[in-house]
Chains A and B, each alone.
Chain A
Amino acid sequence: MAEDFRARARLWPKGRLFEDFEVGEVRQHHWGRTIALSDTLLFTTLTLSFNPLYSNRAFAEAHGHRDIVVNPLLVFNVVLGMSVEDNSEIGGPFVGVGALTHHLPVYPGDTLTARSTTRAARLSASNPANGIVTWLTEGFNQRDELVIDFERSNIVRLRHPPARKEATA
């Protein structure tokens, strides 16, 4: 490559590691996401999530909704997605999700935002280079009404893992 731009470049890194998490910290996640009708139809059909509330406006209206209901698993994935850079982008694999509640339906045109509270951060018993971090993640609509919340845990790598003990002969 003729140009020297790569030699001059400095990485602007993304993501956080174990030492960056403090129990009780609350982070507003980036961006926000307005859910289009096409988003939920695409998600619903790609995942074969066949309930007409998610695909048939007249059917949804006949059940008291003002529009097609946004697939709740899409709501979950968007809220989790916006939390990834702050929580889990570079740390390690997903452990689990629990205590998830859908509080309100979401409709096309609604805008979701997300925030997380760090609930626990502990070292892994089996691998001292890793920690396990648990967050409460909450998703809100454009009226700041809570639409979903859940707990998520991930393996999160330590930035400075303890030196490995040398095996003794």
Chain B
Amino acid sequence: MKISALTGKHNYFEDFEVGLVIRHARGKTIEGLENVLITNLVMNTAQSHFNEHAMRNSPYGGRLSYGGVNFSVAMGLTMQDCGENALAELGMDNIRLTHPVVHGDTIYAYSEVLRIEDADREDAGIVTFRHYGVNQDDKLVFQGDRRMLIKRRSYWGER
């Protein structure tokens, strides 16, 4: 197995620079498949995410998608471009959920490079991204920062 043949060629550590903003190519519509399945899979017990009857007369008109699902989908949509060549996800910060998401809403994702750092190893460096999730009505539903340890092409590019 040639490792480098399985991932992208244009998203190594050397390809990211501070200020770069990426519009990710795919969006994803949130439905019960994402919200109810993941909410229940992770044993989140808040029924506003899975009791349609209780939520029908709420201001949301139905089940509210769980915030962890919303930003997991938004961050997932960024992963191929930003984290396909990551060795590890190190941490997150400043996560904000800025607008409710209900079933049928579609999330699109953007990422901005905030910071580039050397790591304590020579084969990789650390990139901090600010990820954004925007719905079909151009409302910001999520933003959050993620630090990832990303392979350097100089070491991994031909392996």
Contact = CB atoms under 8 A, between A and B. Distances in A.
A130 to B, nearest CB: 16
B157 interface: no
Contact of B80 (A14, A42, A43, A50): A50
Contacts of A93: 67, 97
B46 A84 contact: yes
A46 B38 contact: yes
Interface residues of A, number: 46
A21 interface: no
Interface stretch (A1-9, A71-79, A115-123, A156-164): A71-79
Interface in A57-108: 58-59, 62-63, 72-74, 76-78, 80-82, 84-85, 88-90, 93-102, 105
Interface residues of B, number: 43
B73 interface: yes
A77 B84 contact: no
A81 B44 contact: yes
B77 interface: yes
Contacts, number: 126
A51 interface: yes
Contacts of B96: 95-96
A59 B1 contact: yes
Given A56-B6, A102-B91, A80 B42 contact: yes
B36 to A, nearest CB: 12
Contacts of A124: none
A47 interface: yes
Given A59-B6, A62-B1, A76 B68 contact: yes
Task: Classify the interface of chain A: helix, strand, loop or mixed.
Answer: mixed
A48 interface: yes
Contacts of A77: 38, 42, 44, 68-69, 72
A97 B3 contact: no
B45 A84 contact: yes
A47 B97 contact: no
Contact of B95 (A53, A72, A97): A97
Contacts of B84: 50-52
A94 B86 contact: no
A12 interface: no
A95 B96 CA distance: 7
B72 to A, nearest CB: 5
Nearest to B97: A94
Interface string A5-33: 00000000010000000000000000101
Interface of A: 14, 31, 33, 39, 42-44, 46-53, 56, 58-59, 62-63, 72-74, 76-78, 80-82, 84-85, 88-90, 93-102, 105, 150
A-B pairs, 4 with minimum CB distance: A47-B76, A81-B42, A81-B44, A97-B95
Interface of B: 1, 3, 6-7, 26, 28, 33-34, 37-39, 41-46, 67-69, 72-73, 75-77, 79-80, 83-97, 144
